[in-house]
Amino acid sequence: MALIDGTSRLLIDGKLTSGGAGGFATVNPATEEVLGEAANADAADMDRAIDAARRAFDDTDWSTNTELRVRCIRQLRDVLREHVEELRELTIAEVGAPRMLTAGAQLEGPIADLGFAADTAESYEWTQDLGHATPLGIPTRRSVVREAVGVVGAITPWNFPHQINLAKLGPALAAGNTIVLKPAPDTPWVAAVLGELIAEHTDIPPGVVNIVTSTDHTLGAMLAGDPRVDMVSFTGSTATGRSVMADAAATIKKVFLELGGKSAFVVLDDADLAGACSVAGFSVCLHAGQGCAITTRLVVPRARYDEAVAIAAGTMGSIKPGDPTKPGTVCGPVISARQRDRVQSYLDLALAEGGEFACGGGRPADQPAGFFIEPTVIAGLTNDARVAREEIFGPVLTVIAHDGDDDAVRIANDSPYGLSATVYGADADRAARVAARLRAGTVNINGGVWYSADMPFGGYKQSGNGREMGVAGFEEYLEIKAIATAAN
């Protein structure tokens, strides 16, 4: 596996090809150095990719040949494992992901999760026999069949690109669909290398997987609106998700959306405050806070508010953003100058809204290059502040006071989002009762881990609809057909 001469190519209809719009630079966010060039697709390229996926679904046995699909997905998993060290270095360079995270959700975890997709397809009950009945007095033999949706358009972001790309590719392919993947232009190489490995090291037929890198965001709208595409699977911001849903409405296609979050970390008054607030601060620093499910609102007992702020600031202030290639780095850069400026604008807003910084608040003085932001604790604001309501996507934690369990639940749920939440409390039953009242798709109690191939992930409210991962995520890519046969 190699990105020859610092360039990448599209994968369309089984062939690796250049982009109709030439190429565009991909940049190392830790150094601001240009890594090389990615193929820049145009509308004609996307049209060819959609057409190839349509023909592969309609004219081949991919959707019905479960044995082939299972074998191909395991081939992809195995070839990714064979090249994991090269992929690790690529991921650190292009994504700015700290090396430590590539052992988990940034690389090795998603590769392993392909095995779950293959295993699920292999063991899945595709046809369910409901037996004989006499509806309306007519003897009938009935069955329920699950089959692939068809052509899937997948649009993915830059923050955890391997995890999100493979969490769509694996289940969609295992379910029998063909796919057109449009990754974020900030991280084109980590997607393009999948195309290279698929084309050269797997038996996946031409047209089944198409990977289209581009700086043209209207190509995503093409996927969502094209009648040849049966489903669009999107992960990204809530604002873009609304556009995807609107574009898809013209053809009433199936839409999966995994969107933003402003998740609450609720600390009850019987919790180990030092332990809870330290965990909250540490988690916000991981990958510079660039995770939709990261808990960025720390909701603590009012009587211990100042203490909680000091603990969180002590943890976050000790974490210095730095070189993601070093094994001990927790907080690397944000993805781009644009994103760094966006985070800084929210920090400026926090001061304008009357907040104060317990630590951080800007760019680190010891990092002259790279898109770095200091881990920052914002204190002195309520849940009404914009920095407490809007997704910042940086290493920023807002600390909010609560007046008991009911008030903590109210604050946690007082958000347009509902992706994730955390509850810490010494009384496990009490913590579980609070967790049960939270309107969020994933909840961790006292440090439990919900990220796993067999666990569904997704949100309530404006955090999206549907689920990714787990059997529920696999079934997102299926249609249900009821068959009734007259029984003589």
Q: Looking at the annotation, which residues are catalytic? A: 258, 292
Closest by Cα among 117, 109, 16, 26 to 71: 117
Closest CA to 162 of 202, 102, 212, 231: 102
Please report where in the chains the tokens 């009935």 appear, as a residue: 142
Taken in order 213, 214, 217, 219, the sign of the CA dihedral is negative
Angle, alpha carbons 143-145-150 (nearest 5°): 160
Helix (H) or strand (E) holding 117: helix 108-123
Contacts of 123 (CB under 8 A, 6+ apart): none
Q: Which residues contact 200 (CB under 8 A, 6 or more apart)?
A: none
CB atoms closer than 10 angstroms to residue 336? 17
Instruction: Give the integer Cα–Cα distance in Å for 282 and 151.
Output: 40
Radius of gyration from C-alpha coordinates of the chain: 23
Q: Would you give the DSSP letter of residue 457?
A: B
Residue 280 in contact with residue 265, Cβ under 8 Å? yes
Tokens of 74: 């395991």
Nearest C-alpha neighbor of 461 from the set 418, 415, 411: 418
SS3 category, 442: strand
Among the listed residues 293, 252, 230, the one whose alpha carbon sits nearest the alpha carbon of residue 476: 230
Q: Across 23-160, where does the E strand assignment appear?
A: 23-27, 34-39, 127-133, 140-148, 151-155
Instruction: Quote the CA–CA distance of 1 and 161 in Å, as a whole number.
Output: 18
Tokens 């009357």 map to which residue?
Answer: 354
Alpha-carbon distance 414 to 266, whole Å? 13
Q: How far is CA 148 from CA 58, 152, 173, 176, 382, in A?
A: 11, 10, 9, 5, 47
